[in-house]
Each structure stands twice: as C-alpha cells, then as structure tokens.
Chains A and B, each alone.
Chain A
Amino acid sequence: MTREEILNDLKKRFKNDIIDLLDKSPKRVYIEIKPESLVKVATYIFKDLEARFNIASGVDARTHIEILYHFSIEYLNVLISLRVKLDRKNPAIDSLAQVFKGANWIEREMYELLGIDFRGHPDLRRLLLADEWPEGVYPLRSDYKEWDKKAIRDRGV
C-alpha cells in the first residue's frame, strides 16, 4: 500500500474514532483520536501496519493533558503520531503495555512525571523519581512549583 492508500484506509476504518487528521508533511502525520479508541487504533497500526513504536510524549497543554504516541512506518518513511487529549483534573487512559511491551516504561514515566493513570498497566510503579519525592507532585505539569527548595540546595545541586 502507498502512503495515500494507508491514510485513506485509516480514515475509513476508524471514521468514528478519528477526530482530526493533519497531514503535516510527507514524513509527518498527526492523527487526533478519541481516548477510548486508543488501544484499537494503536493495535492496528502496530500489528497490521507493522509500525515500530518510537515512544510516547506527554504534554501539559494547560487546558488539557495531551499524549502523543509516535509510530514510524519504515517502508513508507512516515511517522504517525496519535494524539489523545485527556481531562486535566483526572487524566486516565487505557494502557498499551499489554499490546506491546515497549510501552511499559514510558507509561511508568508519564505516570510519575505528569500524573496520568494508565488503566490495566501490569506494573505501574515509579521509574525515575526518588523514593522521597512526595505523592501528587508532578514535575512536568505547568503549575509545578519546586516543593522543597532547601532539600535540593542541601544536596549541593
């Protein structure tokens, strides 16, 4: 299949799930989907289109929390980014770690840095932050304040 055929097929196959499809450049496609459709669409792209899961990046966009799941399809030289927008008060989404193991660590990272709950994740523990880091303080949130300046200074940072 060519690039156009795959994009048209995606549009038709997931017409109830896709909110917006942005064909930014020959190498970059951004698809905004409904959060509840993530596992369905991601499974299709990873298993059927044989894409490689690059990574996911979570962004606090002030009005909502956004996650971009990046997949590259090497035989077409296209990078597809699935965008989901989550409610900022209680961000939660289904985990992809069951679909492919590559999503395990990044979901743990987004859980601790942005406070997103991944439903069905097999092992949702902290990955990078220290044990003494307080609960409910998420450093990549836009309203993050350094919670203990003294402690950080005392460590000589």
Chain B
Amino acid sequence: MPKSVIPIGPYHPLQEEPEFFTLTVDGETVVDIDVKVGYNHRGIEKLSERRTFDQSTFVIERICGICSTSHPFAYTRAVEDIIPVEVPERAKYIRTIIAEGERIHSHLLWLGLAGHFLGYNTVYMWVWKLREEILDVMEILSGNRNNYAMFKPGGVRRDIKSEDIPLVIKKIDSIVPTLNRLKKAILDDPVLHARLKGIGILTREDAIDYGALGPTSRASGVAKDVRKDAPYGAYDKVEWDMIVTETGDVFEKVIVRVLEVYESIKIIKTCLLNLPEGEIDLNIKDIPPGEGIGSAEAPRGETFHYVRSDGTNRPARHKVRAPTFMNLPTFKVTVIGETISDATIILAAIDPCYCCTERMAVRNTKGKKIYHGQDLIRLSQEKTEHIKRKMGIK
C-alpha cells in the first residue's frame, strides 16, 4: 500500500489554534510526523522590549488565554530576580491562589476537550459546567474570568477581601462531589481503559531527553515540579503532593491532571484560610541593570522567562519559553507507530497551547485518501463506538 500524507491544518476545528501537522501514514499506521508552527507568531518578545517593565506585564499576560497567569508569574519573578527582592508574604499567598485557580480551570478545560475527541460529549459538557464554577471564583477574586491582571513586579495589584473568602471556599467545595463522580467514572470505565491505556507512551528516558515538562513528564515518572524543586509563592508553606505516575501513556496523563485538580483545591483552601495580613506591593520604582530568571509551574509545565535590564525603564531582552515549546516535539516519539485514529488524542494529551509556543488540522495529498480534520475526530469517535460494541456496552 502506498504511503499517504495527511496534512492537518493550519486552520482546523479540532483545536483552538492554528498549527500545521503532516502525518505520513502507511495504511492505518503513522510512520512519520512533522509540524509547522508560527501561524500565531506575534513577536511578543520584541514587543516587550518596547514597553516599560510594568506595561510588559499586561502584554505577556495576553500570550495565552488559558494559562494567562503563569506568564506574568514567571515574568514578575524574573524582574524581582534582577533587583533582587522578595515580595511580601500576603502577595505570595494571593499569587499562589490565582495560579492554582488557573490550574483547576485549565485541567478541566483539557479534560472536557479530551472527552470530546473520544466521542464522550457528556464528559465534555459535564466538565465544562464544572469549570464555570471556577471561573466564577476567579471573577470574585480578581474581577475577571480570564486575564486576571493581578500581577505586577513587586507584588499584586489587587487585594483579596476577607468577606469574599467564605463564598469562594463554598464554591470550590461545591465542585468536589461532581469531581469525585467524574474521577470514578473515568477510572472505572472499561472503554476509556481500552482506548487510552498503552497508547502514546512517552518513556522516562525520552521525557528527560526532550526536556518534557509538567503533567506530560510527570506521567512518565519524572518527579519534577518547579513548585516542589524550587519553591516560590506560598508552595513551601502549604502541604500538597506532587502527582507522579509511571507508564507515560495517555491514560496516566489524564490521571495526573485529575488528581492535580484535587491538590490545587487543597492549596487554594489552605492559602485562603491562612492568608497573612500585611502589604501586598513593594512599589518598585527603578530596575537596576542586570539579568534575571523567573519560572513558574503553569498547568502544562514550567514557564520560563529571562529578562535583561540595561538600567532604563524597558527590558533590553525578554525571552519567553512556554511549556508546550518543550512538550510538543515529543510527538516524534509518541505518535509514530500508532494508528491515525489515536493520533488525535495523543497529540491532545500533552495539552498543547500553541499561542504560547506559537494546533492541528488537512493539506492536499499525494496519496489516495484525503482526510480532513472532521474525519479525524469522526475516526477517533468511531473507534470508541467500535470498542463499545465489542464490549457489548451501549
């Protein structure tokens, strides 16, 4: 059978952002894959050099719509590393609360989309309804459902009102029973087991070699998390566990994310109940010449910022490295050898965020078959149906 090329993208309904994948397939098996990114390249690093240190915080908050807090978190830490200075305790706690709220909503968003790719649209609707509660919480805390604009070099921009805390805790607690049912449904579902176990395996060695980050590497047994390894914010003052699993297949990546949601709930509640009194901002005026590095554990892995100052009020150089930049190249080892119907969920399993790195869709082919993005979703959903029929589940 001749090899066919399945082009996916750059504009495609499967994911939220433009990206161009080229899958070379032999029959049903993927034998090679390549990606072209850059459709969303907005030149933010260059843009940041033309803004003041305070203005840059707003620009880089718009790098990503989902993990919008991780970038300001890493950036402000980089600027504070130049001076160097420690932010007030209360600001550290508020930063941690916002960052963990974002992790919950981001993991739930991914879980919903993963359900959709597999043909479990009930999961999709269910999880996204749950996510609404968290977005409400973020609105109570920051005034915004997304792009919270809470961070600034030297502290936070808004305080958390003590009268809001009981309502926030009540809202967060309200998602736990649904989350428990969801966890049980995922862990016990034989179809999901058949569908996700043993596919898209990222071995521990490859995870290290590629420098994979976040849940993608932790599912492969690499116990690395910036929040534990180089504690920042209030993470060293709160008790929580790092979730690490062994095999690195897609199922484990689901497990890691679901369990991390529980840890985040724990962290937020502890932080809210132990919120220290005091200042929230250092009012930093001047940034001396020098260079600083800041990192923060975003929902997808470590976000890394490098800022150089030449003594003016603008960064001389601002390097942004989003977690997907390190996670995406791992598709070379996870997708090759798998079937086309599994490629969708494997590519989605790293929770790619291309506007950070810079998504998936179909180009005209030399081969006989032409698949489109919709076909891939259909293939993926049909496989689930097929497994269900074989198992006698309706």
Interface of A toward B, CB cutoff 8 Å: 25, 27-28, 30, 52-55, 57-60, 68, 70, 72, 74, 77, 79, 81, 100-102, 104-106, 126-130, 139-140
Contact B304 A55 (CB under 8 A): yes
Which A residues touch B332, using CB under 8 A?
101
Task: Check: B129 CB closer than 8 A to any chain A CB.
Answer: no
Contact B304 A70 (CB under 8 A): yes
Contact A54 B304 (CB under 8 A): yes
Q: Which of A25, A54, A106 has the most chain B CB atoms closer than 10 A to its own CB?
A: A54
Contact B43 A139 (CB under 8 A): yes
Known: A28-B81, A128-B358, A139-B43. Is A52-B208 also a contact (CB below 8 A)?
A: yes
Contact B329 A27 (CB under 8 A): no
Q: What are 30 residue pairs bridging A and B, where the CB atoms are less than 8 Å apart in the complex? A: A25-B81, A28-B81, A28-B293, A53-B211, A54-B302, A55-B325, A57-B321, A58-B319, A59-B317, A59-B319, A60-B317, A68-B306, A72-B229, A72-B230, A77-B229, A100-B211, A101-B209, A101-B210, A101-B211, A102-B326, A104-B329, A105-B328, A105-B329, A106-B325, A128-B37, A128-B38, A129-B38, A129-B41, A140-B45, A140-B317
Shortest distance between the CB of A104 and any CB in chain B (Å): 6
Task: Check: B218 CB closer than 8 A to any chain A CB.
Answer: no
Contact A54 B211 (CB under 8 A): yes
Contact B325 A105 (CB under 8 A): yes
Which B residues touch A30, using CB under 8 A?
291
Contact A59 B209 (CB under 8 A): no
Contact B319 A57 (CB under 8 A): yes
Choose from B84, B224, B230 the contact partner of A25 (Cβ within 8 Å): B84
Task: Check: B193 CB closer than 8 A to any chain A CB.
Answer: no
4 smallest beta-carbon distances between A and B, as pairs: A102-B211, A57-B319, A128-B38, A74-B229
Task: Check: B116 CB closer than 8 A to any chain A CB.
Answer: no
Q: How far is the CA of A106 from the CA of B43 in the complex (A)?
A: 15
Q: A54-B211, A54-B321 are in contact. List 12 more A-B contacts (CB 8 A).
A: A53-B211, A54-B304, A55-B304, A58-B319, A59-B317, A68-B306, A101-B210, A101-B211, A102-B210, A105-B325, A106-B321, A127-B37
Contact B326 A79 (CB under 8 A): no
Which B residues touch A28, using CB under 8 A?
81, 293
Which A residues touch B37, using CB under 8 A?
127-128
Contact B325 A139 (CB under 8 A): no
Q: How far is the CA of A139 from the CA of B41 in the complex (A)?
A: 12
Q: How far is the CA of A30 from the CA of B291 in the complex (A)?
A: 10
Please name the residue on chain B nearest to A113 by beta carbon: B45
Task: Check: B68 CB closer than 8 A to any chain A CB.
Answer: no
Please name the residue on chain B nearest to A109 by beta carbon: B325
Contact A59 B229 (CB under 8 A): no
Choose from B43, B295, B317, B358 the contact partner of A57 (Cβ within 8 Å): B317
Contact B306 A27 (CB under 8 A): no
Please name the residue on chain A nearest to B84 by beta carbon: A25
Choose from B45, B293, B316 the contact partner of A79 (Cβ within 8 Å): B293
Known: A128-B37, A139-B43. Is A55-B319 also a contact (CB below 8 A)?
A: yes
Shortest distance between the CB of B304 and any CB in chain A (Å): 5
Contact A57 B306 (CB under 8 A): yes
Which B residues touch A127, using CB under 8 A?
37-38, 358
Contact B224 A101 (CB under 8 A): no
Which B residues touch A106, using CB under 8 A?
321, 325
Which A residues touch B103, using CB under 8 A?
none
Known: A54-B304, A55-B319. Is A130-B38 also a contact (CB below 8 A)?
A: yes
Task: Check: B195 CB closer than 8 A to any chain A CB.
Answer: no
Please name the residue on chain B nearest to A144 by beta carbon: B46
Which A residues touch B45, using CB under 8 A?
140
Which A residues touch B38, using CB under 8 A?
126-130
Q: How far is the CA of A104 from the CA of B35 in the complex (A)?
A: 13
Q: How far is the CA of A26 from the CA of B224 in the complex (A)?
A: 20
Contact A102 B293 (CB under 8 A): no
